[in-house]
């Protein structure tokens, strides 16, 4: 194989990898639309400055678990207060987006979702990874455990 063919093969491989990544992201939402809708609703609520709407995606229970490198917060109300303290104003909330979303059903009423999060606010940009355990409770998909890290 000559140098030109080698370069061409590299471009084809890179293109194929990028195409698979795009298809994977689309498939997560298409294969599990009811779960993706919970996350999309959270993004929309956040971007409206609506923390209560954002929290609607979480299990409203004292057993809800939210883990970060800073520790563990238990209970829906405690998680809401944590968000209110960290994001006290609409400007601090900024704009949220998720990317590299992967959703896997782990049972008839259980799923896992993971990806990257990013908030762009007037005071800068923050980002990291999230890993969610979700359950279908009383007919609705909710987050029962959230493990979030920051870059």
Structural domain span for residue 110: 32-150
Do 41 and 73 lie in one domain? The reply is yes
Give 50's DSSP letter: -
Do 82 and 145 lie in one domain? The reply is yes
In this structure, are residues 147 and 131 in contact, taking their beta carbons and an 8 Å threshold? yes
| H or E element, residue 6 | helix 3-31
Do 53 and 115 lie in one domain? The reply is yes
Do 7 and 54 lie in one domain? The reply is no
Do 24 and 64 lie in one domain? The reply is no
Q: Among 96, 93, 107, 124, which Cα is nearest to 35's? A: 107
Q: Worst-scoring range by mean pLDDT, 7-16, 67-76, 96-105?
A: 7-16
Q: What is the pLDDT of residues 105-141, one digit of tens each?
A: 999 999 999 999 999 999 899 999 999 999 999 999 9
pTM: 0.80
- Residue 107's pLDDT is 95
What's the average model confidence in pLDDT over 89-100?
Answer: 95
Count of domains forming the chain: 2
Q: What is the pLDDT of residues 74-84, one digit of tens each?
A: 999 999 999 99
């Amino acid at each position: 194989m000559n140098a030109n063919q080698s370069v061409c093969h590299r471009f084809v491989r890179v293109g194929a990898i990028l195409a698979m990544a795009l298809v994977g992201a689309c498939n997560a939402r298409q294969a599990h639309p009811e779960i993706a809708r919970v996350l999309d609703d959270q993004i929309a609520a956040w971007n409206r400055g609506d923390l209560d709407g954002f929290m609607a995606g979480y299990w409203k229970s004292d057993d809800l678990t939210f883990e970060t490198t800073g520790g563990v917060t238990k209970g829906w109300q405690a998680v809401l207060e944590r968000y209110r303290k960290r994001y006290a104003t609409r400007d601090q909330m900024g704009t949220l987006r998720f990317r590299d979303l992967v959703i896997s059903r782990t049972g008839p009423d259980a799923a896992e979702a993971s990806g990257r999060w990013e908030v762009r606010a007037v005071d800068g940009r923050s980002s990291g990874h999230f890993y969610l355990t979700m359950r279908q409770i009383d007919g609705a998909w909710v987050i029962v455990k959230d493990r979030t890290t920051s870059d």
